[in-house]
Amino acid sequence: MTLPRFSQSPTDDGFIQNPYPFYDRMRAAGDLVWWDDYALPCATTHAAVHALLRDRRFGREVPPEHAAPTPAHCAAFYAIETHSMLELEPPRHTRLRGLVLRAFTSRRIKALAPEIDALCHRLIDDFPVGDFDLLDAYCRPVPVIVICRLLGVPASMAPQLLRWSAAMVAMYQARRDRAVEDAANAAARDFADFLRGYVEQRRRTPADDLITDLIAAEEDGARLSTDELIATCVLLLNAGHEATVHSLGNGVKALLEHGVTPTEADAADVTDEILRFDPPLHMFTRYAYEEVELFGHRFARGDQFALLLGAAARDPALRADPAAFDPSRAVSNHVAFGGGLHFCVGAPLARLEMQVALPILFARCPGLRLAEAPRYADLFHFHGLERLIVQA
């Protein structure tokens, strides 16, 4: 069966500002379609995305015989990727994720709530008079300072961590070029050097932080190596921070445009509807590990394909009027955090940050309004704003 073919540049401004009509056309053509610009089959429906996320015949790790050589100018970046559990499959993924979850516990995450609350109030106290960018003043600082606190890194490092993170995650974006690769490699090298020194310091002087807990975590006599520790810390910052910034920004935009004021009582439902309505990650790629026929398409071992999380989010087969923003409907089956073995390990923290930060923002700033039309940044396959100019 030949898949329906579609062409759409992911860096075209019309698509960047509103990709959902394109997703609607793709989804109407079938569970799987071919996206010419990526030369990949893409899952478009919630049913297909949900199934392929959980099917163990597919995964993130490239089959060895299909792996391409690492470019020399990207060596530092891929040295971290090699040890990132996001890019691995069992048995190594199982060991790494198990060790991380022994340290990244629900108790530790819940204990951060008072600090997130206090941080949000401090940031709002410092809001400037007149028009300002809420991304810089609120949406970016909240998750990066929380990650600093979690890891035990001084909050004064937050701006530098943001620069390293932004440079590294650009490698996953459609606008990637040699300049992006060089910047990402330099950031990866400097970030790894910083963390290597910090890990060694924590080995000598343990503290009440996640790095210390990751060092101590053990399962069947196995512990995380220093390289695995570094990759895990980088993943927690890059994946967790990037997604939460976009979720907060996209969420405030949706709330203001639809006249919705979140409260502490409904914060959980509001958060999940934001994640469904305008998720921070729109594409997640995987590989086939054997010959499989699904949804009318035959996958060969080594075939790469894409799961369009942004398309699945608005599948009319899942709920009525999917293009409407309606926090009153309980949404629990969105795929913003992925699914299966690679379900986002930071999802509880991201939810907590949104559930604390959004009600406080709207309670403290009841007159909050958009000062100019928000614009999305050229980030695909992430989906987030380049600025959010408001007046409080």
- Per-residue pLDDT of 246-288, as tens digits, reads 999 999 999 999 999 999 999 999 999 999 999 999 999 999 9
Q: At what angle do helices 158-169 and 226-257 cross, to 10 degrees?
A: 90
**Predicted local distance difference test score (pLDDT) of residue 390:** 98
Please give the Cα distance from 265 to 267 (Å, whole number). Answer: 6
Poorest-pLDDT segment among 123-127, 175-179, 330-334, 380-384: 330-334
Per-residue DSSP letter, 314: T
User: Amino acid identity of 346?
Assistant: G
Please give the Cα distance from 52 to 175 (Å, whole number). Answer: 26
Q: What is the mean pLDDT of the chain?
A: 94
Strands 40-43 and 304-308: parallel
Please give the Cα distance from 23 to 119 (Å, whole number). Answer: 37
Q: Identify the CA nearest to 134 among candidates 380, 85, 126, 276.
A: 126
Tell me if 161 sits within 8 A of 144, measured CB to CB: yes
Taking only the tens place, the pLDDT of each residue in 278-302 is: 999 999 999 999 999 999 899 999 9
Confidence of residue 241 (pLDDT cuts 50, 70, 90): confident
pLDDT mean over 304-309: 98
Spatial CB neighbours of 126, under 8 Å, sequence gap ≥ 6? 137
Taking only the tens place, the pLDDT of each residue in 103-122 is: 888 899 999 999 999 999 99
As beta bridge partners, residue 34 has 5, 41
**Predicted local distance difference test score (pLDDT) of residue 219:** 62
pLDDT mean over 139-151: 94
pTM exceeds 0.85, yes or no = yes
Please give the Cα distance from 219 to 117 (Å, whole number). Answer: 34
**Predicted local distance difference test score (pLDDT) of residue 220:** 63
pLDDT of 97 strictly over 80: yes
Confidence of residue 217 (pLDDT cuts 50, 70, 90): confident
Domain ranges of the chain: 5-391
Local structure of 313: helix, strand or coil: coil
Please give the Cα distance from 311 to 292 (Å, whole number). Answer: 23
**Predicted local distance difference test score (pLDDT) of residue 222:** 78
- Percentage of residues of the chain with pLDDT beyond 90: 88
Q: Which CATH superfamily is domain 5-391 in?
A: Cytochrome P450 (1.10.630.10)
- Percentage of residues of the chain with pLDDT beyond 70: 99
pLDDT mean over 177-201: 96
